[in-house]
Amino acid sequence: MRIDKASLVELNLVMQSMTGFGRGTYNNEQWQATVEASSINRKQVEIVTNLPRSLQCLEPNVRQLTLPHISRGRVQLTIQLEKTSAEDSTQIRINHEIAKSLESAFSELSKSIRRDVFPTSGDFSRHPHIFESNDLDKIDPEIAWKTIEPALIQAIQSMNEMRSAEGIYLKQDFNQRLKALSDFTKSISELAPYRPQRQRELLEKRLSDIGISFHDNDDRLIKEIALFADRCDISEELTRLDSHFEKFHDYLNSTEATGRQLDFLCQELFREFNTIGSKANDAQIAQTVVEAKTEIEKIREQVQNIQ
């Protein structure tokens, strides 16, 4: 399968989770590159690269290639580069000249302080240039990048395939829970118009129980019912809920990363249902609001996984 940057762009057109893992390899006649990419949840984007010490100069290249495909989450990239053929690779080379120079330095030190001082194996191993590797210390970074880049692209694609697969399942879960919230909203809207009438009946019963008589067109009763109807009016909240549901679906079908927007909408949905619960003054509506807020919390928890 051909791996290129265009393939990465196509994967970005679907909803993605922030958790995933991918591995990529690429080799030519001399070198073989292996890249492992893993991602976990983060509110912001964070890219951590683990490159061989001699190739740290390639970190900007790695970040520049990776950043366009990650909008949120912590991505760790572990990059290895080694000789294609073991026969062509001498893992450790001894610099005899530096080793002899270190030995001579100890001899001069012995003469200077007039007592014998001998270098130990630890002295030789601690010196940075006595034991050298033939592989990465002398490779041209440009040549190394030509080997690493295809492996990195493959690793990112593999990771994003896993993120996209999980994103599909999350999207299905969101749609089911949004359907439940829409049903709760419909139920509340059907119950809302009857609250003033129930409040009137409740007031009439209370007045009757304490022996107060009144007429059907009593101005005081009519005024009290009108004030109650105004205080418990939730038409604005219901309208905003419908708007938020529509916007939520738009974000779910968006080709851009919408995790932050979805998180904000969850807050707004919770706020609207909370306001309805406070204004409703109705036990059945209050129970429906509790169930709706429980669903929103479940959605919000999953939204934290969305890129």
Q: What is the DSSP string of 91-151?
A: S-EE-HHHHHHHHHHHHHHHHHHTS-----HHHHHHSTTTEE-SSGGG--HHHHHHHHHHH
Q: Which residues contact 185 (CB under 8 A, 6 or more apart)?
A: 238, 241, 242, 245, 292
Per-residue model confidence (pLDDT) at position 13: 54
Q: Backbone phi, then psi, for 290, in 5-degree steps?
A: -60, -45
Q: Following CA atoms 177, 299, 254, 273 in sequence, which dihedral angle do they give, to the nearest 10 degrees?
A: 80
Per-residue model confidence (pLDDT) at position 241: 93
What span, in angstroms and rounded, lies between the C-alpha atoms of 238 and 221? Answer: 28
Instruction: Give me the residue spans of the domains in the chain.
Output: 5-89+134-163, 93-132, 168-303
Q: Which residues contact 142 (CB under 8 A, 6 or more apart)?
A: none
Q: Alpha-carbon Rg of the chain, whole angstroms?
A: 35
Per-residue model confidence (pLDDT) at position 236: 83
Angle (nearest 5°) at CA 157 between 151 and 163:
140
CATH topology of domain 5-89+134-163: Ribosomal Protein S5; domain 2 (3.30.230)
**CA 129 to centroid of chain Cα atoms:** 43
Per-residue model confidence (pLDDT) at position 1: 40
> Mind listing the pLDDT tens digit of every residue in the chain (307 residues)?
444 555 555 555 568 888 999 999 999 888 899 999 999 988 888 999 998 888 889 999 999 999 988 888 899 999 998 887 655 555 667 888 888 888 999 999 899 988 988 888 888 877 766 776 555 566 788 888 999 999 999 999 999 999 999 988 999 999 999 999 999 999 888 877 666 566 555 655 565 665 656 666 666 655 655 555 556 677 788 899 999 999 999 998 887 888 889 999 999 999 999 988 887 777 888 899 999 999 999 999 998 888 8
CB-based contact 188:289 (threshold 8 Å): yes
Per-residue model confidence (pLDDT) at position 278: 80
What span, in angstroms and rounded, lies between the C-alpha atoms of 234 and 276? Answer: 6
